[in-house]
Amino acid sequence: MSYTRTCISGLFLLFLTLTCEAYSGFIGVKDTHFELNGSPFLFNGFNSYWLMHVAAEPTERYKVTEVLKDASAAGLSVCRTWAFSDGGDRALRISPGVYDERVFQGLDFVISEAKKYGVRLILSFVNQWNDFGGKAQYVQWARNAGAYISNDDDFYTHPLLKKYYKNHIEKVITRLNSITRVAYKDDPTIMAWELMNEPRDQADYSGKTVNAWVQEMASFVKSLDNKHLLEVGMEGFYGDSIPERKSVNPGYQVGTDYISNHLINEIDFATIHAYTDQWLSGQSDDAQFAWMERWITNHWQDARTILKKPLVLAEFGKSSRGQGSRDTFMSNVYRNVYNLAKEGGTMAGSLVWQLMAHGMENYDDGYCIVLGQNPSTTQIISDQAHVMASLAQSFNQPH
């Protein structure tokens, strides 16, 4: 059966009825797997970084509703998105301490719609990259205030930059949703907070600088909110703690350490990202598939035996503008995720990059997927959602 927009809409009420009760609690961690209301929780999910940005304009909110509704009907249960927009167009934070209430209400809407459609959210606090501000905007603000900043990686060590960041964390976590009237810190619709999208530090490749920053900021988050899970936002590059593991990296380091960064007590689960078409550009599809399997499997082994925490493939994708079949690539990744998840649930789920609504071509980075627009891709995504949910259910059955 192929999913069309009509089929997705037809299944929606049934899916919502089956899931609304199950999504009433906070997602937690037990041993090396996620739990929801005492039962194992596995998922298939997606990235849609743009939700708050679009929802800041009320006339465009239908795009948010479309994606969450179609994703929910296809069985997708977790979405990762930005809870930041520092400076620039539709900025959430116009300058340090100055927020645009209209944009915050856009994020309120995203959370309320996610709750309506049974989708959990992972909300990220800041970007490594310049999109939507990132470290570079923090540095510019600090320089405008008269601080001496040598480079963007001072983000991890300079007291003023750390103050700006902590202030934003507190502003978001303590926000009272204008629609639901529930504080973010008390809302189980939020699955987890993310410290940073893809932290990197070109000034210290050992990972120690980022490690100290993660420890400080993770402790700060947990001092404000001990109900929600917390993750770093890492791509998964290995550092100095286990030198032999560096051979797993795609030929370079980025100043993080998958092992030490995730061993921090306040970090509840590990994440990895994977873009073989970027990291291994020029290599054959077979070579990229083989590397991808090694990348996921090595991190799963370490999550299970060293970190003893769940693992999420938090970003992966294949550009439609490149060589090879995206459907074949996604099927292979999903099969790998499922097979590892069967071994006790440490491999807990994956989040494809990225879902868009109809009419968002100007946002398309080559990785855009519109559910229902390409039936074969939609079917692959939906099938993975259902087999992961079935696997979680099977773990809960007496053996």
Q: pTM of the prediction?
A: 0.94
Closest by CA to 68, choosing from 130, 131, 23, is: 23
Query: Domains plus CATH for the chain?
Result: 30-395 (3.20.20.80)
Q: Residue 216 to residues 174, 209, 252: CA-CA distances in angstroms?
A: 19, 11, 26
Contact present, 160 and 180 (Cβ < 8 Å): no
Q: What are phi and psi of 270, to 5 degrees?
A: -100, 155
Contact present, 248 and 198 (Cβ < 8 Å): no
pLDDT for residue 9: 45
Bond from prior residue into 354 cis (ω within 30 degrees of 0)? yes
**Active site residue ranges:** 198, 315
- Is pLDDT above 50 for 279? yes
Which residues is 312 bridged to in the sheet?
A: 271, 349
Which residues is 73 bridged to in the sheet?
A: none
Measured between alpha carbons, how far is 190 from 79 in angstroms, rounded to an integer?
A: 10
pLDDT for residue 374: 87
Measured between alpha carbons, how far is 255 from 253 in angstroms, rounded to an integer?
A: 6
Residue 171: pLDDT band (50, 70, 90) is very high
Measured between alpha carbons, how far is 190 from 115 in angstroms, rounded to an integer?
A: 9
pLDDT for residue 324: 85
Task: State pLDDT tens for residues 209-250.
Answer: 999 999 999 999 999 999 999 999 999 999 999 999 999 999
Work out the mean pLDDT of the chain and round it to a whole number: 93
pLDDT for residue 1: 40
Residue 322: pLDDT band (50, 70, 90) is confident
Task: State pLDDT tens for residues 103-136.
Answer: 999 999 999 999 999 999 999 999 999 999 999 9
pLDDT for residue 398: 62
- Is pLDDT above 80 for 288? yes
Buried b (16+ CB within 10 A) or exposed e, 35-67: bbeeebbbbbbbbbbbbbbbbbeeeebebbbbb
